[in-house]
Amino acid sequence: MGVWAAVTWKGGEKSAGSRDLSSLQAPAAMRMGLSVLAGLRSSPCVASRRALSAAAVRRSGDGGMTHFGSRTVPKDEKAKLVGNVFSSVASKYDVMNDVMSLGVHRLWKSHFISKLDAGKRPNASEPLHFIDVAGGSGDIAFGLLDHAEAKFHDTESTMHVVDINPDMLREGEKRAAEQGKYYNDPRVTFLVQNGETLEDIPTASKDVYTISFGIRNFTDIQKGLNTAHRVLKPGGIFYCLEFSKIENPVVDIAYQQWSKLLPVMGSMVANDYDSYQYLVESIQRFPSQDEFKGMIEKAGFASVGYENLTFGTCAIHWGIKV
């Protein structure tokens, strides 16, 4: 069973270029309503940044090289370098996110989970099968399961928590143990896995694929999106939360000034300047909302759209496998 029969979407306006799911040719039992908030219009400054971003993406495919923050490195080295960053910040993951977003990431994640509104409905015959990629800390995975239980009394749906970094997964397991929930739970599997390949996840086996603040660290983002499409069942949902491009030039200037302070704050709070410097640069390198939307469509998803949060500081992106 795909997620069509089990998930209802919530939202406001529809972003340009996306379609209501009701317009797709699907059986009545598989219809969902889809509406989303519109993104902000582009400015000349934003267009310029988008051109630079597109150029960076093109460069990443040249000669087996890619970007690691502001550095250009061999593709086969990036995963190790990113792994070092997250091993460094694993024990202070929440502190890291609080510093980078002034604590607003907690509101973004809560909205992300509520908007998806996923869980096995009382009249559904099968549970949902979730996969949360780059989700080692467990905050999104556990939040999704909590939401499903609280709203739909769903205690059957399963969750794969996947991360390429064992240190991050250990933090997730530690969190589960401290909460007294989802630790040694047969419904929850922690798996060390490269999100670009997910070689241990069967094709067409998942109903919901989520990734939060992780896909920008992939060496090959398009490959990761293609893999997301592979592991989802027909009717399955791809759902992503990621830092993005601010489209209001005044707000963007303030944000860029704030970003310059983040490595210094990282040094003060977590004694780790370099990791925070990379994280800031990885945000700057990530494609714009519309560029990333195009990449999701290229992977084969339909009804692709996005919702900007906090002026576009981050955005929720989605697509449906049909």
Binding residues for S-adenosyl-L-methionine: 137, 163, 194-195, 212
Give the position of tokens 């607003």: 104
Nearest to 199 by CA among 233, 162, 167, 159: 162
Find the helix or strand (DSSP H, E) in which 52 lies: helix 44-60
Give the position of tokens 């489209």: 247
Beta-carbon contacts of residue 128 (< 8 Å; ≥ 6 apart): 3, 6, 7, 118, 119, 120, 148, 154, 157, 158, 207, 208
Binding site per annotation, positions: 137, 163, 194-195, 212
**Alpha carbon distance 16, 97 (integer Å):** 30
Q: 72 in helix, strand or coil?
A: strand
Do strands 188-192 and 71-74 pair parallel, antiparallel, or not at all (unpaired)? unpaired
Per-position DSSP letters for 209-259, written without gaps between them: EEEES-GGG-SSHHHHHHHHHHHEEEEEEEEEEEE-----HHHHHHHHHHH
Task: Tell me the β-bridge partners of 206.
Answer: 232
Q: Taking the C-alpha atoms of 320, 140, 50 and 321 in order, what is their torsion angle to the nearest 10 degrees?
A: -10
CA-based max dimension of the chain: 56
